[in-house]
Copies of this chain bind each other. A is one copy, B any other.
């Protein structure tokens, strides 16, 4: 897309820019930030994935119990150990994660140079979050900010909701979607007297990782489910889809940025346009992605060939997109909203 311009400063943040939350750990990845404007600044809600410092001949798993990180250590040559990929291994039928993610703020005056806060946000202590919290979307409704993020545990990956007005005091509403669910983002205003969100459950024998809509009277309890975007066989989004940050109100309808992956797990970005009064009605959808992984920091990293956005800020027609690249770095790009709307008709 013509108006898409990556920041020259990319990547904006790398694991080397982020201190681990405690001694004995290192930051493996910093990725998939939520984004918001507040008090004249741009803030990111980083996903920081950390792990115990390596010890030769050992393999570490990490989990959380309340405020404690628990490290479980195995001999690397343990015959009962089966590695799935860089993120997961199995020992005697039980799954373990090699990293655990928390959420951390970073702030910037110009939206390009970010200062990372030293401590994690005080979230992630639910029983359903012992394997960490990930990929936060931030929506502002009135003077309150709402955070929706993936919560992982041995019971699966669901979605939790937390709210804050000052980014110091948070209240958590617990899990609002059970497994398997992620990629949840709230609409920033009521439609016909109900709250709405997009989310990404997974149909198992029928269906798949599709984008669904739900509505709520209070943001904590959800119902009225309908599917609005399935994967498309043979296309760039044939394998999975999931919504990005809060839908953007435009004159043509709600603009939803989403990621799609093909069967090689190459992640690109596309867009949906939903009816302004009935967001279950899809008006248009990108034929081709408007953004693909092409830069070296997007094609190589912890998990290569990924651009994944769950945060943006908007000024007039200019959308600033923050995105995770190769599951390891945080990057930025700008584009024209009207230009994007034209590509999806």
Contact = CB atoms under 8 A, between A and B. Distances in A.
Interface of A: 88, 93, 95, 127-128, 131, 152-158, 173-181, 199, 201-208, 210, 212, 214-218, 220-227, 230, 233
A157 B203 CA distance: 6
Contacts of A207: 153-157, 179-180
In the A-B complex, the 7 residue pairs with the smallest Cβ-Cβ separation, listed nearest first, are A156-B203, A156-B207, A221-B221, A179-B203, A175-B225, A155-B227, A221-B223
A223 B126 CA distance: 14
Contact of A217 (B93, B214, B221): B221
Given A154-B207, A173-B224, A222-B222, 14 more contacts: A155-B207, A156-B201, A156-B202, A156-B204, A156-B210, A176-B223, A180-B202, A180-B204, A180-B207, A181-B201, A202-B202, A217-B218, A217-B221, A220-B224
A85 to B, nearest CB: 10
Nearest to A228: B155
Copies of this chain, complex-wide, total 2
Contacts of A221: 215-218, 221-224
B217 A201 contact: no
Nearest to A224: B174
B206 A157 contact: yes
Contacts of A220: 223-224
Scoring A153, A216, A217, A223 by chain B CB atoms within 10 A of each residue's CB, the highest score goes to A223
The residue among A173, A179, A202, A214 with the most chain B CB atoms within 10 A of its own CB is A179
9 contacts: A131-B206, A153-B207, A155-B207, A156-B204, A156-B206, A181-B201, A204-B204, A220-B223, A221-B222
A127 B207 CA distance: 13
Nearest to A152: B206
Contact of A179 (B128, B204, B215): B204
Given A174-B224, A175-B226, A224-B175, A203 B180 contact: yes
B223 A155 contact: no
Contacts of A176: 223, 225
A230 B155 contact: yes
A89 B82 CA distance: 33
Contacts of A173: 223-224
A225 B174 contact: yes
Contacts of A225: 128, 158, 174-178
Given A93-B233, A180-B180, A217-B217, A154 B224 contact: no
Nearest to A97: B206
A174 B206 contact: no
Contacts of A212: 178
A217 B221 CA distance: 8
A212 B93 CA distance: 21
Contacts of A202: 156, 179-180, 202, 204
A173 B222 CA distance: 12
Q: Which of A180, A214, A220, A230 gathers most chain B CB within 10 Å?
A: A180
Nearest to A151: B225
A204 B174 CA distance: 20
Nearest to A233: B93
Contacts of A215: 221
A201 B222 contact: no
